[in-house]
Amino acid sequence: MGAGPGDPELLTIKALRILRLADVVLHDALVSSDILQLASSRALIVDVGKRRGRKNISQDEINRLLIQFASSGHMVVRLKSGDPLVFGRAGEELDALQQAGIDVEIIPGVTTAVAAAATAQISLTDRRVAQQLLIISAHHAHDKYDDSNLFRMVSPRTTIVVYMPGEYGIVSERLRRAGLDSSTPCLLVSRVSTSEEQLFQTTLGGLPIAPVLPAPCILIVGATVARAVSQQVRAACMNYIPLEDESLLPAQSSDFAG
C-alpha cells in the first residue's frame, strides 16, 4: 500500500479503508505518524524502515515477517511511503510472497515526484519544453553507477526527477556529463506535503553548493522548473532564482500534443 508523501489527505479512499481493517502494519521509516494513527487501535504496528546511519532490518527479515504474519491468517498491510512500486523494493517482497503462496493486492499511492510538482505548481511534462519524463534514483544497489543509459535518455527536453539525490555534487556531475547545461533549472523539495516542507531553487551548476535539505528529499531538473513562478511558490522557496535565460521560456509552438 502506498502511503503517499506524508499528508494523510493524499491517501486514497481505498487505502484508508484497508488500513483501518489491518491486523498488522509493517511500515517504512518515512511513513508519517499522522497516517499511522489512522490504523485500527487493535493493529500491531511494526517499523521496518531502512534509514542511513543506523542499524537496519534486512530485506530478508522483512520478507520473513510478511510471510509469517500472513501465514498466521492476519490481514497484513505493507505500508510504503509514496507509491509502493516506485523505488520501494516492492518487487523483492512480491517475489517472496508469491513464492510462499500468499495472496497479494497492491494499492497505489501518490508518488513523491507528482506531489512535489504539485507543490511547486509545475508541470512535469509540457509540450512546449519537455515531452518526456525520466524518474531515477541516485541511490544504487552495491553503489554501482552505469551512466551509459542515462546519456541516451537525457536531453534538454527531458524533465528529470531524482529520488534520494544524496550527494548533490555527484548528481550534478552525472547530469552535466549526460549533456545538460549548467544553467538548467533545478528544484529541491524536502518533506513534501508536510508542515516541514522546504523548497530550494537553483541550477545544475549551483546544485553542489545547495544546502542539504532533510530527508526525504527529491530533485526536479529541467526547463519546466522555470515555470514555478507563482507568488505562493516564490514565498515558500528558500532560494527563488528569477529566470534570466529567456531561451528556457516555452516557445509558443504546437510541435507536441498532449
Is 1 among the catalytic positions? no
Contact 198, 213 (CB under 8 A): yes
Contact 153, 134 (CB under 8 A): yes
Among 1, 7, 83, 164, the active-site one is 164
C-alpha cell at 42: 487493535
Is 14 among the catalytic positions? no
Among 34, 50, 126, 238, the active-site one is 50
Q: How far apart are CA 160 and CA 124, in angstroms?
A: 9
**Residue 187 corresponds to which amino acid?**
L
C-alpha cell at 9: 489527505
Listed in sequence order, the residues at least 6 apart from 200 whose beta carbon sits closer than 8 Å to its beta carbon are: 187, 188, 190, 210, 211, 213, 237, 238, 239
Is 75 among the catalytic positions? no
Distance of CA 30 to the CA centre of its chain: 11
Among 1, 28, 80, 83, the active-site one is 28
Q: For cell 526547463, what's the residue?
A: 223
Q: How far apart are CA 74 and CA 23, in angstroms?
A: 6
Catalytic residues: 28, 50, 164
